[in-house]
Structure 1
Amino acid sequence: MFSKNATYNFKLKTAFLMLIAVCIQATAQTTAWKPASFEIVKSNYKTFKTTQYAHVFSGSKHNIVRLAPELEGLTGIELPLEKYKNGTNAPLQLKFKEPVTVMIGVFQDKDAEYLQSNQIGNNNEILENGVTITGLPPVSVYAIPYGKGTHTILPNQKGLFAVLGVLKSDQQLNARDVKLPDGKLWNPTFIVEGFSDEKPLFEIIGGENKPVIDEGMSGTEGIQGGFEGGRVVKVGDTYHMFPTERAGEKGVDYYYDRVKTKIGHWTSKDAIHWKRESTIYQASGVYAVTEDDNPMNDRRAAIWSYMPVFNEKANKWYGYYLAYTVSKEIEPNHSFGRIWRCESTVEGINGIGGPYKDMGIIMEPGLDSQPWEGRQGVASFFPYQVGDKYFGFYSGAYPFNSWADYPKKSGKGWFVALAESKSLEGPWLRMNKGLEPIKTMHPLFVENPIVSQLPNGLYIAIFDGGPDGWGHHLPNMIAYSLSADGVNWAEAHYLPIETKVDKWWDIMRTPLCLIPEGNDVYTIVYNAIDLKRRFHPTGMVKVKLNKDVMESKLKELKK
């Protein structure tokens, strides 16, 4: 008969052994599989590394955004998407030096353009919902054995499938449901720099593997929620950053960090070590008393998105920033944005630190607003010069389908359009009366674009590409768009900086600059979010420009 202590120890040991067994099983299921070599016979199909952002099909933009860890690092084969869909593809022949298992991604869709699982045998399914490919149905992974020699892969089957890798046959494959999401949630598809058929304009060459400004560092006192948006410029050998500081208030819920904000001025000699110099503006943090855009509400309750621009003609710095009315109950809480212009009271390029004086509102909701600007618009502004004219990106968010939906019934979408002026002072007029936002960059999400020029004159806008989180399925990367004339903007490309920098964030947010450093190297300072924390830090990365690609882009955009 066991004593109480013996019984307790027996139960403890049993539970411990069960835990070890579970851990061993989990490890066996998620350990990367051993790849086998192969040769592609009689075709020019390219291969890809099976990893996040991998470009899966030639002639398309579809890429992997989720995958089971077992698949990581295998070698897949780019198949021509349209030819496989319509059944006009050349057969895929592979040569193996040993017995292998080919991992086939099967799309869980009954449409005839996709390979059906019953064509290859349901008993071969290894990973249910094992891969997510943008814009395409859920993918389950099947293991198809082949012997040594040359084989035609699935010669008699019709429809699109994905070749995700080739494995050595002498290993155990554990079947499981990975429960990855449907790729159709990522719609439209998007181009990830360095992973598509196109040569990348920028190579990510490295940067800091942790935030350069984080909670507890000098200058962050009283900034509970960290940083979001603004701009960094370089004057001489000094970087000047003007971020939105999500200050909030001690003892008040984190959501108030978005309301009681500051515009800070920070400086650095290397874009890594930063010193806080001053507060440029402080928001009131006072909630609105009505639901509509009413002058009895405090229209400077939250202040965001400060953009410093040097006016050579006036020989002083101008600042453009956003002031919101803030609702406590209605989404979004930031409403009815107004763009203010201010000027440094100190002349010259070194007057960037101010102090600044307000010169008035240059854009606001009004008779020339359009429903797409939504409850949040005007939600940001950035001016830039093209020839003897000036253009400015202005934005809207939480659009109304029509004015009948004003003031509370808003949808989802973050859009930009252009305003024009003969001077930086204004007046600024919405182009084409603001009838349509610019959707060539991305049809659903473009936020806080900052414009500069590349060495060959191409205009480049760098911006927040949208979160993969909070219920959204967007690229979750810094984005850029190019323009030959500063008016017509090309489809966005996205920078996967985590391929060269340790990923300390869950949600990538706003880039603050694209600063040339010489030798075709550029600095990007950015804000991002670690969902486990209230404080949103700031990071830094370096990219290198490919001049040959830059020239080919200019020719392409001038056609």
Structure 2
Amino acid sequence: MSTFPLTFRLVDAPDQPVIGPDHPDLDGNKYGFEGGCFVKEADGYHAFMAEIADDPFNVRMRLAHWHSPDLRTWRRVGTLYETDSSIIPGDTRFSLWSPMVVFNDDEQRWNLFYVAYTPGEGVIHGQHTNGRIWRAISTIAGRAGVGGPYRDVGIVLQPDAESEPWEGQQATDSFYPWRVGAQWYSFYGGHNYVPPGPWPVGLAQAPALAGPWKRCPELNPSPLEPVFAENPLVTRVGAHFVAIYDNCAPGDTYIPEARHIGYSVSADGIHWPKGGNLAVQPPTGPAQWSEDIRTPLGLIAEDDGTFMMLYTGKLRGHKFWPVGLARLALA
């Protein structure tokens, strides 16, 4: 039983993914989705997701914008960024992931953060290494500019002299800022391929979304998970902060988990206790279509007191990662 001051329960979930392998707007997306976020605006819901578009797997990538009036009927709006399948040593943008949008009240403009990797060489040829967090801004001011187009304005976090040993060869990966008072915070992650290590996350802090972003070594790595935590997103729920993220089944390495995502609740948005499990699919029935839940894409409070969550997961028996939907409530 969770000891968090806030706990959630699954209310219901559709029997099928809301964006599956037969969706007419996939536009050649061969393998589905992993990582990103969604927001609710006056015209409906906007999702920004990494599309594993084609071969080489996890290399031919697109960062895409989708829209829905009701979270169930989706259309693909367009591609924000994409890669061309090349694996060229030293290419700092060979694979792009984790598009996260945040509205910046200070500049009245949407900011987009995403990860660009360099391909590993030698025994880790083609692996995602030396991740750099790019910041882009919408060229259209105001909340109506959520769909962009977006213009790159610089890198906010990357491997450097301040990198910490736990970050490994992959860091930095994933970045979703939230505000605590006058400061901004974000989780970021890493992983060591050789020798194999866990997938921890840590905190970075900045006085503004543009930075300068500094790691928080006194808090890192975060105690969220001992083995695997990826792509945390943080939402304010009442007086508390709720982090949702991709976790795994108990063990010493990544083990697929078919029903749950990870979550943690913080009183101040800075100090985070070890996470727990939150079910996004029921234990049986057609709505339990995944064999491995992957990345949650956000937690949005609705007017009726429930919370809507989009997430990605591997479709049972298929090499495709659709987008699922869950309706949650406070327990």
TM band (smaller chain): over 0.9
The answer to whether residue 82 in structure 2 is matched with residue 282 in structure 1 is yes
Cα separation, 1, equivalents of 2:152 and 2:107: 16
Amino acid at match of 2:198: G
Cα separation, 1, equivalents of 2:111 and 2:94: 22
The answer to whether residue 99 in structure 2 is matched with residue 314 in structure 1 is no
Cα separation, 1, equivalents of 2:250 and 2:203: 27
Offset of residue 392 of structure 1: 1.3
- List gaps (5 residues or longer) in structure 1: 1-194, 250-255, 290-296, 399-407, 547-559
Offset of residue 497 of structure 1: 2.9
Question: Match for 1:448 among 231, 252, 272?
Answer: 231
Rate the CA distance shift 1:492–1:382 in 2: closer, same or farther, 3 A. Answer: same
- List gaps (5 residues or longer) in structure 2: none
Q: In the alignment, is the contact (CA less than 8 A) between 2:67 and 2:74 conserved in 1? A: yes
Cα separation, 1, equivalents of 2:253 and 2:203: 29
Question: Match for 1:503 among 288, 303, 306?
Answer: 288
What is aligned with 2:178? 384
Offset of residue 241 of structure 1: 0.4
What is aligned with 2:12? 206
Question: Match for 1:259 among 36, 59, 73?
Answer: 59
What is aligned with 1:481? 264
Greater relative CO, 1 or 2 (CA 8 Å, sep 6+): 2
Cα separation, 1, equivalents of 2:143 and 2:2: 41
Higher Cα Rg: structure 1 or 2?
A: 1
- Could you list the runs of 4 or more consecutive aligned residues of structure 1 that deviate by over 4 angstroms after TM superposition? 195-200, 467-471
Determine which structure has the larger helix proportion and give its number. Answer: 1
The answer to whether residue 27 in structure 2 is matched with residue 221 in structure 1 is yes
The answer to whether residue 36 in structure 2 is matched with residue 230 in structure 1 is yes
The answer to whether residue 317 in structure 2 is matched with residue 532 in structure 1 is yes
Cα separation, 1, equivalents of 2:250 and 2:319: 18
Cα separation, 2, equivalents of 1:221 and 1:347: 29
Rate the CA distance shift 1:499–1:423 in 2: closer, same or farther, 3 A. Answer: same
Determine which structure has the larger strand proportion and give its number. Answer: 2
Q: In the alignment, is the contact (CA less than 8 A) between 1:469 and 1:507 conserved in 2? A: no
Cα separation, 2, equivalents of 1:203 and 1:260: 36
Q: In the alignment, is the contact (CA less than 8 A) between 2:114 and 2:135 conserved in 1? A: yes
What is aligned with 2:247? 465
Rate the CA distance shift 1:331–1:314 in 2: closer, same or farther, 3 A. Answer: same
Q: In the alignment, is the contact (CA less than 8 A) between 1:300 and 1:323 conserved in 2? A: yes
Cα separation, 1, equivalents of 2:137 and 2:4: 43
The alignment partner of 1:365 has SS state of coil
Q: Deviations over 1:10-49 (max 9, x none)?
A: xxxxxxxxxxxxxxxxxxxxxxxxxxxxxxxxxxxxxxxx
Q: In the alignment, is the contact (CA less than 8 A) between 1:467 and 1:507 conserved in 2? A: no
Cα separation, 2, equivalents of 1:326 and 1:461: 30
Q: In the alignment, is the contact (CA less than 8 A) between 2:257 and 2:292 conserved in 1? A: no
The answer to whether residue 97 in structure 2 is matched with residue 323 in structure 1 is no
The answer to whether residue 205 in structure 2 is matched with residue 411 in structure 1 is no
Rate the CA distance shift 1:315–1:530 in 2: closer, same or farther, 3 A. Answer: same
What is aligned with 1:438? 222
Q: CA RMSD in A?
A: 2.3
Question: Match for 2:214 among 421, 426, 429?
Answer: 429
Rate the CA distance shift 1:459–1:273 in 2: closer, same or farther, 3 A. Answer: same
Q: Deviations over 1:399-448 (max 9, x none)?
A: xxxxxxxxx623221111111111011010111378x3012x22111110
Q: In the alignment, is the contact (CA less than 8 A) between 1:259 and 1:326 conserved in 2? A: no
The alignment partner of 2:298 has SS state of coil
The answer to whether residue 189 in structure 2 is matched with residue 395 in structure 1 is yes
Question: Match for 1:515 among 293, 300, 305?
Answer: 300
Amino acid at match of 1:207: A
Q: Deviations over 1:330-376 (max 9, x none)?
A: 17711110000000000110100100000011111111112210111
Q: Deviations over 1:265-323 (max 9, x none)?
A: 0000111110000101112332133xxxxxxx111000000100001111110000000
The answer to whether residue 150 in structure 2 is matched with residue 365 in structure 1 is no
Cα separation, 2, equivalents of 1:231 and 1:307: 6
**TM-score normalised by L of structure 1:** 0.56
Rate the CA distance shift 1:446–1:503 in 2: closer, same or farther, 3 A. Answer: same
The alignment partner of 2:146 has SS state of helix
The alignment partner of 1:247 has SS state of strand
The alignment partner of 1:472 has SS state of coil
Question: Match for 1:348 among 104, 129, 142?
Answer: 142
